[in-house]
């Protein structure tokens, strides 16, 4: 099973460029999440999606947009990249109940110059 797949794995952007990070899961999960990981800060929630067509802001949503077009895929878009968005981005998914663990992708390492 692939689990949660993220593309690309690495990306370097210039300030002001835009890009979309892709995420897909094959576990039939309803809930999907985008986190960013920065040194010494753990992971912080950017956006969340409870189901197809619904999204909600997390702790650090500024500068990002998301799209949940179907149950499998949840994309994260940077419209105008800034150096402060240099980070490792993780997508995760989980089943219905809060006692179920989230499954994570391998991450996208994004550098913005």
Binding residues for another protein, rule: CB under 8 A, are 4, 31, 33, 40-45, 48, 50, 56, 58, 90, 92, 94, 97-99, 101-107, 109
Range 51-73 burial, b when 16+ CB lie within 10 A, else e = eeeebeebebbeebebebeebbb
Least distance from C-beta 31 to another protein, angstroms?
Answer: 6
Q: Which is nearer to another protein, 72 or 103 (CB)?
A: 103
In whole angstroms, what is the distance from residue 61 CA to residue 55 CA? Answer: 11
Q: Which is nearer to another protein, 9 or 80 (CB)?
A: 9
- The answer to whether residues 51 and 106 touch, using CB atoms and an 8 Å cutoff, is no
Q: Which is nearer to another protein, 75 or 104 (CB)?
A: 104
Least distance from C-beta 101 to another protein, angstroms?
Answer: 5
Least distance from C-beta 69 to another protein, angstroms?
Answer: 20
């Amino acid at each position: 099973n692939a689990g949660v797949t993220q593309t690309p794995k690495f990306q370097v952007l210039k300030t002001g460029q835009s890009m979309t990070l892709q995420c897909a899961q094959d576990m039939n999960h309803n809930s999907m999440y985008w986190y960013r990981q920065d040194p010494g800060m753990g992971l912080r929630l950017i956006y969340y999606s409870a189901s197809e067509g619904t999204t909600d802001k997390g702790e650090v949503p500024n500068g990002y947009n998301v799209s949940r077009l179907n149950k499998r895929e949840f994309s994260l878009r940077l419209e105008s990249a800034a150096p402060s968005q240099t980070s490792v981005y993780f997508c995760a998914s989980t089943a219905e109940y809060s006692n179920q663990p989230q499954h994570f992708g391998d991450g996208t390492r994004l550098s913005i110059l």
